[in-house]
């Protein structure tokens, strides 16, 4: 397959690059904004046509959830309009597309894991624009998969794991919310799932993917510190209203992964097992 990966310098894009080495049967074109601005319709069409792209994996996005509340126009351009540009260009070339989306398409008021057919109800600019992007992709590309994920971290870029390790080493105590529940996702695990879908053949539709298990941000932090050997920082549980943020966060955003596991025969590791893997790599 000839695969175009956009946003290749981000967390997921980098993990797609790492796993490309284990998938030498594919010819991958890794691009970030310097090589291919996904908002530039002509450049996207040219890139997909001239390189004979068969699958587009869009890892590019506006991911600054709080800043998005003040930058709606840019956020909409990147998260909603650009996926539409990619989807139309993919369709014109008979290519498939994998669009990565988010648990923020839900408002987090559920008490059981979200299935793909639960009605979306975002309550942030980021969530609304990502949902808009999902619709653009599903409406404009016949062979399209949307994979919603959550709480993504990796050895690349800035993320919660790296921040908690740094703060844990700098501070004697730290407050972290315990009333927001979800599942961490090691971007390497998501990249594995994406290659599994490509290798087995794209099955159009919406899918959910995270690692296995459930925790709060507080539990996640305690585990990060334990695994990283940080013993000098006390982690205190906070209520959401004690840690105000510009964009509302879903209180419960556990994703039900049954569909993607069954469709592609994927085994998903528990979040803590993958966290150990990631921290081991961060420390070498």
Kindly identify the residues of this chain, within the stretch 129-148, that bind ligand NAP according to CB under 6 A: 130
Give whichever of 34 and 231 is closer to ligand NAP, judged by the CB atom. 34
CB of 54 to ligand NAP, least distance (A): 20
Using the contact rule CB under 6 A, the part of the chain among 84-92, 149-157, 233-241, 269-277 near ligand NAP is 149-157
Angle, vertex CA 13, rays to CA 176 and CA 181, nearest 5: 25
Alpha-helix runs per DSSP H in the chain: 11-20, 41-50, 65-68, 72-76, 82-92, 125-140, 160-170, 187-200, 217-228, 258-264, 271-283
Asked whether the beta carbons of 160 and 220 are under 8 A apart, the reply is yes
CA-atom Rg of the chain in angstroms: 18
CB of 159 to ligand NAP, least distance (A): 7
Tell me how far apart the alpha carbons of residues 228 and 232 are, in angstroms, rounded to a whole number. 12
The β-bridge partners of 207 are 147
The β-bridge partners of 244 are none
State the catalytic residues.
126
Give whichever of 100 and 193 is closer to ligand NAP, judged by the CB atom. 100
Give whichever of 91 and 99 is closer to ligand NAP, judged by the CB atom. 99
The β-bridge partners of 176 are 237
| Both tokens assigned to 109 | 């008021």
Q: Considering only residues 44, 55, 57, 60, which one is a binding residue for ligand NAP as defined by CB under 6 A? A: 60
- What is the per-residue binding string for ligand NAP in 18-57, x denoting contact by CB under 6 A? --------------xx---xxx------------------
Q: Are strands 181-182 and 215-216 parallel, antiparallel or unpaired?
A: antiparallel
CB of 33 to ligand NAP, least distance (A): 4
Tell me how far apart the alpha carbons of residues 3 and 21 are, in angstroms, rounded to a whole number. 13
Q: Considering only residues 30, 114, 128, 151, which one is a binding residue for ligand NAP as defined by CB under 6 A? A: 151
Give whichever of 105 and 235 is closer to ligand NAP, judged by the CB atom. 105
Binding to ligand NAP by residue 120, rule CB under 6 A?
Answer: no
| Both tokens assigned to 28 | 């991958």
The β-bridge partners of 237 are 176
Q: Considering only residues 59, 90, 177, 191, which one is a binding residue for ligand NAP as defined by CB under 6 A? A: 59
Binding to ligand NAP by residue 11, rule CB under 6 A?
Answer: yes
CB of 248 to ligand NAP, least distance (A): 15
Count interface residues toward ligand NAP (CB under 6 A): 25
Give whichever of 125 and 172 is closer to ligand NAP, judged by the CB atom. 125
Kindly identify the residues of this chain, within the stretch 61-100, that bind ligand NAP according to CB under 6 A: 61, 63, 78, 100
The pairs formed by 74-78 with CB atoms below 8 angstroms and a separation of 24 or more are 75/125, 75/126, 75/129, 76/125, 76/129, 76/132, 77/39, 78/38, 78/39, 78/129
* Residues at the site binding ligand NAP, with contacts judged by CB under 6 A: 6-7, 9-13, 32-33, 37-39, 59-61, 63, 78, 100, 102, 130, 149-152, 157
């Amino acid at each position: 397959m000839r695969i175009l990966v956009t946003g290749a310098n981000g967390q997921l894009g980098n993990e797609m690059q790492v796993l490309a080495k284990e998938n030498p049967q594919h010819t991958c074109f890794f691009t970030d904004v310097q090589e291919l601005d996904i908002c530039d319709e002509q450049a996207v069409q040219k890139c997909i046509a001239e390189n004979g792209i068969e699958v587009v994996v869009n890892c590019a996005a506006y991911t600054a959830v709080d800043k998005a509340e003040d930058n709606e126009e840019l956020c909409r351009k990147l998260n909603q309009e650009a996926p539409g540009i990619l989807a139309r260009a993919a369709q014109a070339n008979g290519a498939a597309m994998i669009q990565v989306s988010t648990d923020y398409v839900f408002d987090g008021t559920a008490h059981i894991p979200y299935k793909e057919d639960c009605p979306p109800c975002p309550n942030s600019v980021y969530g609304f624009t990502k949902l808009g992007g999902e619709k653009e992709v599903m409406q404009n590309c016949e062979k399209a998969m949307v994979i919603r994920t959550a709480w993504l971290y990796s050895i690349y870029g800035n993320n919660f794991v790296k921040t908690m390790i740094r703060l844990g080493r700098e501070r004697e105590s730290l407050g972290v919310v315990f009333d927001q529940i979800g599942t961490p996702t090691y971007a390497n695990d998501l990249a594995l799932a994406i290659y599994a879908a490509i290798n087995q053949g794209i099955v159009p539709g919406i899918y959910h993917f995270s690692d296995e298990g459930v925790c709060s941000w507080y539990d996640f932090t305690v585990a990060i510190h334990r695994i990283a050997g940080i013993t000098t920082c006390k982690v205190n549980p906070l209520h959401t209203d004690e840690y105000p943020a510009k964009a509302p966060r879903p209180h419960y955003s556990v994703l039900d992964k049954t569909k993607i596991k069954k469709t592609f025969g994927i085994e998903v590791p528990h979040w803590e097992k993958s966290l150990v893997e990631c921290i081991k790599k961060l420390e070498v």
